[in-house]
Structure 1
Amino acid sequence: MNTITTNPSNNLTRTPVSPKRPTETAPRRPPNFRAGKEGMEHAPPPDPVLLGCHVLNPLEERQPTHPSPRARASSRTKPPLRGGGGRRPEEGTQKTGFLRPEESVAFTFCHRQSANGCDLPPTAPARSRVRATSFMMRDSHTFWSLMSASNQVVEIQPVAGPVNGSIRPPGSKSITNRAFILAALANGPTTLAGVLDSQDTRVMAESLRRLSLNVEQDLERKTAAIEGAGGGPRASAADLWLENSGTSIRFLAALCTLGQGRFRLDGNARMRERPIGPLVDALIGCGAKIQYELATGCPPLLIDAAGWSSRRVSVSGNLSSQYLSALLMAAPACGHDIEVAVEGPLVSRPYIDMTLDMMRQFGARVEEPSPNQFLIASTGYTGRHYSIEPDASAASYFFGVAAVTGGTVTVEGLNRNALQGDVGFVDALVRMGCTARWDADSITLTGGRLKGIDVDMNAISDTAQTLACVAVFADGPTRIRNVAHMRLKETDRVHAVVTELQRLGVRADEHEDGLVIHPGPVTPATVATYDDHRMAMSFALIGLKASGVRIADPGCTAKTYPEYFQDLDQLCAASRRGQS
């Protein structure tokens, strides 16, 4: 049993994979440092000798630099991958006891090596030889150990026909991290079921421990127990390392301002490019003193907290709904009634509805007398048992499998009334020609002849990359609009999707607020993922219908779904049997 426990004295017993902040103020790493936790020395990937090796042609494609404007202007290297689901095998160890052949994982992993066997960065000369292995595995720890190794590439094997099956994705990242915050603010204990175990949720849980909250997790049973503080954090000082988890740094920034003391919040290189100014301005309006260490409007933040004094606060909502969610969740524990108002347009409104629903389930009283104006009573929260539904954003990839292969896939644990607005992705696929059945505890999608559509995805932008990849196989172009805020996510997602579709030979046009996809033949290539989990997961769908699609750095899925490629392969296994 993988159990994580802690107590307010910070005597920790936890699994080996744990977020760790480097001791330096600014992260530094050698140019070819691509895997492992921050601050840890790079270890070479395991020798691929599990069931047999073969050599692929050298990878001619060069991975681009990070597509965001700031990153294009800088010379920084791409942040390393962090592990999320298991341990790297001991050097020289050969795994045994694999699955039966019909259950084998149909992926090919390869990594670049120089003549002396040392790993090379993805920009290494094409003459560098490429070693590869096709293999089977028996568990997620073996799988993830290989996935998280340096410079890995996964080649997606096309299916022979329609994919049919059912799957239950892991718990929602958005709900898990909100539940952690509400439980921390609550009076009394809270137990959570269906907790997602991923990089984003681990940095959240570890940060709560650093704030002297008692957090216990059973990773196998997917449960967590939190003893609430009945308000702000108990600790008077803490240094929090949030990797690239936007929900974590934003929600915790608001939580910390309810306390008394000094708190520092930081993350990886991409986090230091993601704006947090609207939330900081609002929290300063609440009475907090906050400084930007780098004076960029982005983390790291230094917070001197003394509680909230204001009874009205406003926040901009046009860049991210997480700023508003952070304020809303903290408000019932601030010690007095407060009004929270949104300035200008609000993106991703379904996530605000999710936040409000969860707040009320933990005992908050919130009114919305006019759109985007919230009156919150000083009720605090009460600990409770709370079940986390499967991740609807992750479900979009499996609905996409049905759409591109013409199969039928059932996603269990979700329905029309799910907390997550991303179930609306199904409606977009229906517009493209699929059919859907909504049941009390599942959604079933059957693929059909796909047609291009013009769609506003502002409310469900986390599924826009999925739709873009499905659109490759439609009759006619697809226009995705009103998603300019995607440029401020883990990467500039609009630019990244256009770039990688073009790399695959698919015509794609970039617009300020979105993109247009023109269906066409797919050219074999290695897709760069920019340390963005959704790039890796969505582009894998193209490989189910077109050969030669390889996904670089598949380990980036650790952010929200460490076992994604394993689950995808299991779903597609029956459609691959009999292939030579």
Structure 2
Amino acid sequence: MSSVRIMPSALCGRLTVPLSKSTAHRAIICSMLAGQDDILPPDDNLSDDIIATQEAMEALLSSGSAPVTVDCHESGSTLRFLVPLAAVLGKTAIFTGRGRLPERPIGVYLDCLPKHGVRCETGGGLPLTVSGPMRPGIFFLPGDVSSQFVTGLLLALPLLSGDSRIVMTSPLQSAPYADMTCSVMESFGVKAEKGDDGWEVAGRQHYTPSNDFHIERDWSQAAFFIAAGMLGGKVELCGLSRSSCQGDRAAEMIFRSFGAKIRWRSGIMSVQAGGTPEHDFRIDASQIPDLVPVIAAAAALLPGRRTVIFNAGRLRLKESDRLAAMAEGLSNFGANVKEKPDGLEIEG
């Protein structure tokens, strides 16, 4: 059994932030539906989740009428983005996964898709067998489970023979991800009109190649390096868009409030330690759930400050229970953390 010894040090230096996984999932799907398969930069390392979406799209777009197996690995995005698309394409698809993915919620689709002609067969979770064709119409979705279900429908409904509506029955959490989906779709020639309670999606649309689309760098991953800069060394981040529609763009504002000294010059963000905050924090994580782990870790190092993170209950349904994992991990390092049903309370 190997061991790792961690010594105190300050992380510093310059790096190019990895590609936005959220944008890449959407771009792969849209571009492959447009017959374009070169959307990813050739020199970037791809995550397992992105590879899962590539391979899944290849399976769904394969010729022939035989059922196809769609292995989503551990990627919830791959699963939830592609279930409606399989039905629209008229494929019989058997969705499988590993890790905790077979246990993650898919009931939203099991409730709404059969009402539109889709046959869904499951013993509970994965494997899930889906067969179409899917009919257009009105799709009612709850907003408090995952915006990934909204994205799955947004990507698929434009390909139907008639117009459809997505109606939210409760406020949508992680709403910026749905906005991102619409933005990427529009880059490939497909539109969905946002209204007060959901989206209007015209049918009979076609995805078209985009020669000038570029996948953004990832604010979710950048947040960890922003925290590192705030905690000691000077870190410079290249490639981030200041006008990004990614919800985790909020990381800059949050870490500024924590005391980080952040400057932009020629498109490069530099981060280093700044002042000490003089007040406690309450952070609503409903639109930024992926930032919770790094916010919690940084908050534990704010002397004399209490940070309450709330509206993060969906993190219990990820590849792990992220709230429990962060509470346990930080506590093991001596942090004062209380686990709440929908968040964390941290004494710095």
Same fold (TM over 0.5): yes
What does 1:243-282 align with in structure 2 at a 5 Å threshold?
A: 243-282=73-112
Does the aligned pair in 2 maintain the 1:364–1:377 contact within 8 Å?
A: no
Shift of the 271–398 alpha-carbon distance from structure 1 to 2, 3 Å rule, reads: same
**In structure 2, what is the equivalent of residue 391 of structure 1?**
218
Match of 2:202 among 371, 377, 384: 377
Q: Identity of aligned pairs, percent?
A: 29
The answer to whether the aligner puts 1:460 opposite 2:299 as a matched pair is no
- Cross-structure match for 2:114: 284
- 1:207 counterpart residue number: 56
How many angstroms apart in 1 are the aligned matches of 2:31 and 2:143?
25
Among 146, 157, 171, the alignment partner of 1:320 is 146
Opposite residue 485 of structure 1, the aligned amino acid is: R
| Counterpart residue identity of residue 353, structure 1 | D
In the TM superposition, residue 155 of structure 1 has moved relative to its aligned partner by 3.7
Matched, 1:496 2:325: yes
The residue aligned with 1:479 is 308
Residue in 2 aligned with 1:301? 128
Which residue is 1:310 aligned to? 136
Query: 2:248 is matched with which residue?
Result: 422
Give, in whole Å, the separation in 2 of the partners of 1:200 and 1:326: 16
Give the CA deviation at 1:441: 3.1
Q: Which amino acid aligns with 2:219?
A: A
Equivalent residue letter for 1:257: A
Question: Partner of 2:262 in structure 1?
Answer: 436
Taking structure 1 as reference, are residues 339 and 429 closer, same or farther at Cα in structure 2, changes over 3 Å only?
Answer: same
Note the C-alpha offset of 1:196. 5.2
Aligned partner of 2:346 among 511, 514, 517: 517
**Counterpart position of 1:447:** 273
- Matched with 1:345 is 171
Q: SS of 1:346's equivalent?
A: coil
Compute the displacement of 1:462 (Å): 0.4
Q: Structure 1 residue 341: deviation in Å?
A: 1.3
In structure 2, the partner of 1:123 is none
Counterpart-to-counterpart distance in 1, 2:182 and 2:347: 39
Contact 1:166–1:409, Cα closer than 8 Å, also in 2: yes
C-alpha separation in 1, matches of 2:136 and 2:249: 37
1:158 aligns with 2:13: no
How far, CA to CA, are the matches of 1:181 and 1:288 in structure 2? Answer: 21
CA distance in 1, matches of 2:266, 2:126: 42
Q: Post-superposition shift, 1:212?
A: 4.1
Deviation of the 1:449 alpha carbon: 3.6
Residue by residue over 1:237-262, the C-alpha shift from the partner in whole angstroms, topping out at 9 and shown as x without a partner, is 20111121000011111210112242
Structure 1 position 439, deviation (Å): 5.3
Deviations 1:427-466 (A, max 9, x none): 1111111232345633332322443422112211101100
Tell me how large the CA RMSD over aligned residues is. Answer: 2.0
Counterpart in the other structure of 2:185: 359
Q: Does 1:238 align with 2:68?
A: yes
| Alpha-carbon distance in 2 for matches of 1:324, 1:368 | 12
SS in 2 for 1:156: coil
How many equivalent residue pairs? Answer: 341
> What letter matches 2:26 in structure 1?
R
Q: Which residue of 2 aligns with 1:403?
A: 230
Q: Sort the Cα spacing of 1:320 and 1:211 in 2 relative to 1 into closer, same or farther, 3 A.
A: same
Q: Is the Cα–Cα contact under 8 Å of residues 432 and 450 in structure 1 kept in the other structure? A: yes
TM norm structure 2: 0.92
SS in 1 for 2:288: helix
Kindly state the Cα deviation for residue 349 of structure 1 after the two structures are TM-superposed: 1.0
Instruction: Give the CA deviation at 1:158.
Output: 2.0
Deviation at 1:193, TM superposition (A): 3.4
One-letter amino acid of the counterpart of residue 395, structure 1: A
CA distance 1:252–1:444, shift in 2 (3 Å): same
CA contact (8 A) 1:211 1:234 kept: no
CA distance in 2 between counterparts of 1:272 and 1:450 reads: 44
1:283 CA drift (Å): 2.2
- Equivalent residues of 1:392, 1:414 under 8 A apart: yes
- Residues 401 and 310 from structure 1, CA distance in 2 versus in 1: closer, same or farther, beyond 3 angstroms? same
Structure 2's unaligned 5+ residue stretches are: none
When Rg is computed on C-alpha atoms for both structures, the one with the higher figure is 1
CA distance in 2, matches of 1:196, 1:380: 30
SS at match of 1:192: coil
Write the deviation string for residues 473-501 of structure 1: whole angstroms up to 9, x where unpaired.
10222111111111111111111111111
Q: Which amino acid aligns with 1:207?
A: A
Higher helix share: 2
Can you list the C-alpha shifts for 1:267-311, whole angstroms capped at 9, x where unaligned? Answer: 11411211011133222233211011x2x3x222111222x2132
